[in-house]
Each structure stands twice: as structure tokens, then as C-alpha cells.
Amino acid sequence: MISSATSQAATAESQRLFNGQNLAGWVVMNQGEWKVESGVLVGRNGTNWTTNPELSGSWLRSEKQFGDFVLELDYSISPGGNSGIHFRSALEKNPSFTGYARQGRQTGPNGDLSDSRITTESR
């Protein structure tokens, strides 16, 4: 779930990527269930995820591409969940293998990230 997300270039003003109302500015890739609930972007029922670098499951991406940026967001994940934020990934194939990933795997009992392992991976 994302409740707010902004991007800020080194010389530009802060830019809101998620308007808190709908999926304007976002593109659903390979299905999955994406909606806005009470101002929060929620993803459920992802499909066809695999560790095969040639195949991709469901994911959500911004319509725009960005150069240098600072990304700020609030993030939450369900108990037992496995999710992440990918950036500088290709649109084809599996984004986990074509760019960078900020992974969040919920390992704590309360569904929050305070007990989670988060890594930044470069591929």
C-alpha cells in the first residue's frame, strides 16, 4: 500500500506521483488488482510472479520515466507479504532482473515493516 509518493529532481520542485484518488498517472502491467481505498494505493492478487528473468507477473508502473530523483513514500505490507519498489527497470521481461529493487518482505507478526528485512539490490 502506498499512501503518498513524490519525486524530486535536483533542480525541480517536488512532484506528487499519486493523487490519492485514482490510478491516473499509473499503468497496470500484466493484470493484478490495483485500486485506491481511503486515499491509499492498494495492490492485491498479483498473478504469475516467477524467478524466471524472461517472464513477468503483474505490477504497477508510473506513466512517466524519470532521471535523477528522490522518492519518498509511506509503505505497508500484509503479514507474510512479499513486495517491493523497482526502479530503472525495463518494461519487458521481469522487472526484478532488469533494474534496481527496494524489497520489503514482512517478517514481523503485525503486518508492518518495523520487523522486516529491506535491501537495495542492483542487477
Secondary structure, 3-state, the chain:
CEEEEEECCCCCCCEECCCCCCCCCEEEECCCEEEEECCEEEEECCCCCCCCCCCCCCEEEECCCCCCCCEEEEECCCCCCEEEEEECCCCCCCHHHCCEEEEEECCCCCCCHHHCEEEEEEC
Where along the chain do its domains lie? 2-122
pLDDT tens digits for 6-44? 555 445 678 888 999 999 999 999 888 899 999 988 888
pLDDT value of position 21 = 95
pLDDT tens digits for 58-98? 888 899 988 888 888 777 777 777 777 888 888 888 888 88
Kindly report the pTM of this predicted structure: 0.68
